[in-house]
């Protein structure tokens, strides 16, 4: 079975930084798309960043220049480095994995297109 486990969330002040991690286990394929989504209270889940098995990344405009998605294949871990955090970044952050032959496709990533999800990690930014 495929499992995704997020960690690294927390409460920080505006302007601060956090690094989220997502450890993946049980995924047997070499090609994929991985993504970070977030869902704020009362809002729909939205894509934040994606990275594919070739290392190609994409970001939502709201986080470009502030967030960096990366992966460590030796550790089977996906990361989201978040800097210059704003109160509007407050949300539950989820990592997701899609078994796909090539690329993450066009932006934005679609929630229903992802095959596996973690349970999320909460990020709270105070002003």
pLDDT in tens, 49-84: 999 999 999 999 999 999 999 999 999 999 999 999
- When pLDDT is averaged across residues 26-30 and rounded to a whole number, the result is 91
Dihedral in degrees, nearest 10, Cα atoms 92, 87, 80, 83: -170
Q: Do residues 77 and 71 touch, judged by C-beta distance below 8 A? A: yes
pLDDT at 17 over 90: yes
Q: Could you give the CA distance from residue 23 to residue 116 in angstroms, rounded to a whole number?
A: 12
């Amino acid at each position: 079975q495929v499992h995704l486990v997020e960690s690294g969330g927390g409460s920080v002040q505006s302007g601060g930084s956090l690094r989220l991690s997502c450890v993946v286990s049980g995924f047997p394929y070499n090609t994929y798309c991985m993504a970070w989504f977030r869902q704020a209270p009362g809002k729909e889940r939205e894509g934040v960043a994606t990275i594919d098995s070739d290392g190609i990344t994409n970001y939502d405009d709201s986080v470009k220049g502030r967030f960096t998605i990366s992966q460590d294949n030796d550790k089977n871990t996906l990361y989201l480095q978040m800097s210059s955090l704003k109160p509007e970044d407050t949300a539950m952050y989820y990592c997701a994995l899609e078994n796909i032959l090539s690329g993450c496709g066009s932006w934005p990533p679609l929630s229903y297109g992802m095959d596996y999800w973690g349970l999320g990690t909460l990020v709270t930014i105070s002003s």
